[in-house]
Amino acid sequence: MQVFQHQVLVVGAGLAGLRAAIEAAQKYDVAVISRVHPVRSHSVSAQGGINASLKNHADGKDDSWEKHAFDTVKGSDYLADQDAAIIMAQDAPGCVYEMEHWGTLFSRFPDGRIAQRPFGGAGFPRTCYAADRTGHHLLHTLYEQSLKHQINVYEERLVTNIATENNRCHGLVALNMISGELELYAAPVVIVATGGSGRIYGNSTNALINTGSGAAAAYRAGAQLEDMEFIQFHPTTLLGTNILISEAARGEGGYLLNKDNERFMKKYMPQAMELGPRDIVARSIQTEIDEGRGFPGDYVHLDLRHLGEKKILELLPGIRLLAMDFAGVDPIHEPIPIQPGQHYTMGGIATSNDGHTRVQGLLAAGEAACVSVHGANRLGGNSLLDTLVFGRRSGSEAMRYLNENNPQPDHKLLQNFWEKEEKRIQTLLAGEGQEDYKELRHKMTQTLTHKVGVFRQEKELKEAVDILIGLRKRYPNVKIKNSSRAYNLELINALELEGMLNSAETVALGALNRTESRGSHSRIDFEKRDDGNWLRHTMAAYTEEGPEMSTKDVTITKFQPQERKY
């Protein structure tokens, strides 16, 4: 058994994980563990941009952090914790300038200042960008910084479980995917920054590695999952593959058209049109499709032709290539066929504004976490910001916790923990189970896609919960055929399925319990927002018999809940 020891272990090498690691590395010995090489994390594929009230745009002179915070809270349908949203909006300009000083090549206005574009649900053009490859540039910048700080990265490791006892964190176990050995990592602080869980759905824009297995490991280790029913469906994903076509396409002036060539958004949001918040635009598209005004095959058109070749080549080169490679259309000459698809996990590991979960020494940041700044609906451009702001804060909180407590991991406990996990892996490799893991996974993704989608109702949600409970009960008996240790994808997939099923159940149960419509959660049997009963976060705690559900107050400080109009 290989044993590694560090003071801080960051799980995940996307923007949140690297930012946390760089912060804590100022003082402590930090290592990052990642399922893939850092620059292959999903952050690399972020397209449209990152929000900050820099006031660089001619129409953005009156912007401010207060207005950014307000748009965020309104966009969240008042479910965001307002103290957290305010911290994020206040820190945003500093974060963007820090990335610029570290080397990010932002697109610029002719006067040399960082360029900004309009984005959905925002009162001013405040989204900073690097063409339509913003995540690529940001992630490469942070990776360079991690090299400069000589942060140790363990790549191609799958963290399967986190060791906690008596509400304290001691370390974790990870499968070395290359050798197949199970490794033990001792550390008094673990920061989980494992990204979203989009792949629990069958129609997601997320990378294949975004299974949510890391957040689920934290959940099984005693942290709570918060607001998991709030799944963002992005309005514009490519027909068939669900690859993202950035909101920047509409930010730059793209139109949405139905089969009658009508700019249908005028019926739903006459003011904001295509630049409404994502939840409402996605519902509008889905309504057009459901009522027969989409094209056969369930899609509508995103038309960029009027923007002209020059603008498309300069500002949207990446999405042009995606449309050509994956849908066979060149947006300079033809409209892009699009449909809504799963895009973002608003919920996640419940944390304080400093990233702490309810377990000592166990922290979380980024899409895996729920601080909560996005509430019931995230605004485009706020997630990259969330990763940097709360990644840094969790790194800083890790230092404080170590300074004040000097916690030491319990090696005896870790040894037992490793042995239990090794036994589980050996059982899987022996291939004696009866259940086909692929069948279970397929049933889960189809259930969420078709029964817990853009529009939801009690009957289907109940069916979904029952199906998912059934799958959870079948999981311990899963079987794989490949018994070798080296790069065994079946083993990796079967191990990750456990966490996917954990998350899926909290999504469906949260959606069933929440008898109102708010943000991305749209119940056709409860069409109204119900602040009296549901201006509350959903909390899920792990038990072997399924999630134990409760609710928690929303923090309201500056902005009183109002009806949301665009």
Ligand X SMILES: Cc1cc2nc3c(=O)[nH]c(=O)nc-3n(C[C@H](O)[C@H](O)[C@H](O)COP(=O)(O)OP(=O)(O)OC[C@H]3O[C@@H](n4cnc5c(N)ncnc54)[C@H](O)[C@@H]3O)c2cc1C
As annotated, the active-site residues are 278
Residue 445 CB contacts under 8 Å (≥ 6 apart), including other chains: 199, 200, 201, 202
Q: Cα(526)–Cα(518) distance, rounded to whole angstroms?
A: 10
Nearer to ligand X, 248 or 512 (CB): 248
The answer to whether the CB of 49 falls within 8 A of the CB of 388 is no
Question: Could you write out the three-class secondary structure of 193-211?
Answer: CCCCCHHHCCCECCCCCCC
DSSP alpha helix (H) spans, 303-381: 309-315, 317-327
SS3 66: helix
Look at the block and give the residue holding tokens 């149960």. 509
Footprint of ligand X (CB under 6 A) = 11-17, 33-36, 41-43, 45-50, 134-135, 157-159, 193-196, 205-206, 209-210, 213-214, 244, 344, 366-368, 380-384, 387
Burial of 112 (0-12, 13-18, 19+ CB in 10 A): exposed
414 token code pair: 């870790």
Nearer to ligand X, 258 or 353 (CB): 353
The answer to whether the CB of 510 falls within 8 A of the CB of 469 is no
Nearest to 202 by CA among 2, 445, 11: 445
The answer to whether the CB of 177 falls within 8 A of the CB of 158 is yes
Nearest to 54 by CA among 92, 19, 18: 92
- Smallest gap from Cβ 542 to ligand X, in A, equals 16
Nearer to ligand X, 63 or 498 (CB): 498
Nearer to ligand X, 107 or 517 (CB): 107
- Smallest gap from Cβ 419 to ligand X, in A, equals 20
Nearer to ligand X, 221 or 461 (CB): 221
Q: Label the pairing between strands 336-345 and 168-176.
A: unpaired
- Smallest gap from Cβ 127 to ligand X, in A, equals 8
- Smallest gap from Cβ 291 to ligand X, in A, equals 28
In 251-318, the DSSP E strands lie at 255-257, 300-303
SS3 384: helix
Nearest to 213 by CA among 161, 175, 172, 167: 161
- Smallest gap from Cβ 209 to ligand X, in A, equals 6
Nearer to ligand X, 232 or 447 (CB): 232
* 246 residue type, one letter: S
Question: Strand order of the sheet with strand 362-364?
Answer: 152-154, 30-33, 8-11, 189-192, 362-364
- Smallest gap from Cβ 294 to ligand X, in A, equals 23
- Smallest gap from Cβ 106 to ligand X, in A, equals 13
For residue 487, the tally of other CB atoms under 10 A from its CB is 14
Nearer to ligand X, 224 or 387 (CB): 387
SS3 73: helix
